[in-house]
Chain A
């Protein structure tokens, strides 16, 4: 998801009996649904996994501003422009809340930024695809925010207090994101032939990358089990992906668009859709830096950071000068 590649450091899940008393008390607290707060004792692996997951999530929100921001100046009406600004602004806010949640674990925002800009930290693969047409803004809201919401709703119940609280705020704000995207798609699909073709093209390009957002199959992931036990993850990647497909397919049908998967069909027995295999080779390429926009996204973030350095430093210099004035006046 927004944190697709979180490696937890646990060596496999221990049973309560195998744990030492402190760790057992911690795990029992988690099992009972009691929130863990920053000053509470926690296993080192829990802390490290959370820092990785929350900071990856934050980075995704921040980089996620770029593909949609690409259309703010070209939004087709004043209302669409305002909606898109508000939406991208929300994503900046989400990044901010999440960085703050991670900071409670003893890592600074500057450190996390440095990890992002140096290429050490990951962010969601989805934001390395280009927004070529206005329909992409619709498709992102509908599919990408749709997938994100599906992942974030259960994270509100995450065992770590600051993360859970940040997600509650995020989910509240997210509620309009998917709907504004679908609204764009509806308008396009009810529009001219060109507009409808634009909508279908966007679905064709965003469908598979959206499915990749949930991360590789849990069968391949050795880290999921520990994260599930720690309740920093609530559902498996495959469960969420299935849920997403089942929710989205009828929505595409309503729009009169076809989902670009020849293997997609309803499976009565399992009460869900069967669907084709995600191209995981493409996914791993994108995650490791070879997506169509990785270089551009990083360049944009690096430029914002380095161009802004004089501004950040100057405000700090002013504040220091004037707190010195205040002390001198006392």
Chain B
């Protein structure tokens, strides 16, 4: 780990965006309806754009001459710092939307708080991203409510998605010394906001948060689920097969 906590923190933020963006982008051309294809592509584009900023910052502060692309395409699984939630496979559209909502409900307040971070570069990236995250959260909130309180089948699917994915939500809030060093003392507020917001939305969506779920974690320190390795094999294929080539 680098001495500068901002490097590690920027990797976490960047890897979250990259892995989620990569997953979301795989829906291009396969979504349930054209309007949704277009909307999802916007989300993926925002996330990839944010990835470039965070990983760019991480590479620069690290000082080893690694670009955002080097970090995205030439690190192995154990070096990835994203939370486990975002690497969960797309599965059905309900799981994709639930994953997005559980992430957005954390991402937006986090970026809002980071807009006031002591490190000006961090604050600047957060500032640029926060509007996009607000829109993502609006959209995913709306869809969670509609699908939870839609048909019997959609209710059932969304409850199943929540049951499966809720266990990965705790890691988002589990702050360590690195988060504290960069974000500052407000981290507890994010957790409180997250609890309030998600329970309000799930209430409206007529969905039940699984009680006493065991919260999984490990992504922040590079202990991932098996899904990430497969994603990287796909994503990094060209860079790995043609070392040093320019694209």
Contact = CB atoms under 8 A, between A and B. Distances in A.
> Do these two chains interact?
yes
Interface of A: 62, 65-66, 69, 72-82, 85-86, 88-89, 92-93, 95-96, 99, 134, 184, 187-188, 190-192, 194-195, 300, 303-305, 307-315, 317-319, 321
B29 A314 contact: no
Given A191-B246, A308-B93, A86 B45 contact: yes
Interface stretch (B65-73, B131-139, B164-172): B65-73
Contact of A80 (B44, B68, B247): B247
A318 B33 CA distance: 16
A85 B30 CA distance: 13
B63 to A, nearest CB: 20
Given A89-B42, A308-B93, A311-B154, A318 B147 contact: yes
Contact of A310 (B22, B151, B234, B245): B151
B169 to A, nearest CB: 23
B150 A85 contact: no
A85 B45 CA distance: 7
Contact of B37 (A89, A194, A195, A313): A89
Nearest to A195: B245
Given A92-B34, A312-B32, 9 more contacts: A65-B29, A75-B238, A81-B25, A89-B37, A190-B246, A192-B242, A194-B245, A304-B30, A305-B32
22 contacts: A62-B29, A72-B25, A73-B22, A73-B231, A74-B237, A76-B238, A78-B48, A82-B48, A85-B25, A85-B44, A85-B48, A89-B45, A92-B34, A95-B34, A190-B246, A191-B245, A191-B247, A304-B31, A311-B147, A313-B151, A315-B150, A317-B151
Interface string B96-107: 000000000000
Chain B CB count within 10 A is highest, among A89, A191, A321, for A89
A303 B48 CA distance: 27
A308 B28 contact: no
A92 B247 contact: no
Contacts of B234: 73-74
Interface string B37-57: 110011011001101100100
Interface of B: 18, 22, 25-26, 28-38, 41-42, 44-45, 48-49, 51-52, 55, 68-69, 72-73, 92-94, 146-147, 149-151, 153-154, 157, 231, 234-235, 237-239, 242, 245-247
A317 B150 contact: yes
Contacts of B247: 76-77, 80, 134, 184, 187-188, 191
B49 A82 contact: yes
A218 B25 CA distance: 40
Contact of A81 (B30, B48, B146): B48
Contact of A318 (B18, B28, B29, B150): B150
Nearest to A304: B30
Contact of A86 (B41, B52, B146): B41
Given A79-B52, A191-B245, A314-B154, A88 B238 contact: no
Nearest to A63: B29
Nearest to A81: B48
10 closest A-B pairs by beta carbon, nearest first, are A308-B32, A314-B154, A314-B150, A65-B29, A89-B41, A76-B247, A69-B29, A76-B238, A311-B32, A318-B150
A317 B149 CA distance: 9
Given A76-B239, A81-B48, A314 B28 contact: no
B33 A311 contact: yes
Contacts of A304: 29-32
Given A85-B44, A85-B45, A194-B242, A96 B32 contact: no
Contacts of B150: 313-315, 317-318
